[in-house]
Homo-oligomer: A and B are copies of this chain.
Amino acid sequence: ESRLPGFATHQIGVAGAVVDESNGKVLVVQDRNKTMNAWKFPGGLSDLAENIGTTAVREVFEETGVRSEFRSLLSIRQQHDHPGAFGMSDMYIICRLSPLTYDINFCTQECLRCEWLQLTDLAKTEHTTPITARVAQLLLHGLESGFHNIDLSMEVIPAVYSGKFYQLYHRQLPSTLKS
């Protein structure tokens, strides 16, 4: 990668798809301030220097009251001229999370509704966004055939020059190939 001075061009939004594997349900919300009441995964913007998984877990808790843990990265959307991004671009990342608690206590300032919805229903309802429906299909495929088929797993790796650490996401390699 280039070491030429650059400048920040993207805001990072992260959503968390909290999947209850015991019953095939996923945690979804409807925003209070939208023209269309569409089910989507809870999420929001990353704070400065916040890791992707940390944003997902934090935003899910703030919006829904449900505690969860990071499992994988599922999907990335890049969008330019994003409304509300002041000419900057937007990277929207959806993570897979596992629930640690199940009781909903949602933020009424941000959300109109919050429910554990069947993934099969979310995949086919019209009351959602195309990206949410697509990720619901991905998650169904993962539930049926194994989440390794849809996940980008995360690893913490030491940086070469700085002595710091970074988070690397990619498809899991078969264990026989990993060095």
Contacts and interface: CB of A to CB of B under 8 A. Distances in A.
A7 B167 contact: no
Nearest to A11: B6
Interface in A97-148: 123-124, 129-131, 133-135, 137-138, 140-141
Interface residues of A, number: 85
Given A44-B4, A84-B5, A12 B11 contact: no
A88 to B, nearest CB: 4
A141 B178 CA distance: 10
A38 B83 CA distance: 41
Contacts of A164: 79-81
Contacts of A86: 5, 7
A21 interface: no
Most buried by B among A10, A52, A167, A170: A170
A4 to B, nearest CB: 7
21 contacts: A1-B92, A2-B43, A3-B33, A8-B8, A8-B88, A9-B46, A35-B161, A38-B160, A74-B170, A76-B76, A76-B152, A76-B168, A81-B164, A82-B162, A91-B91, A124-B179, A134-B170, A137-B173, A141-B173, A141-B177, A150-B171
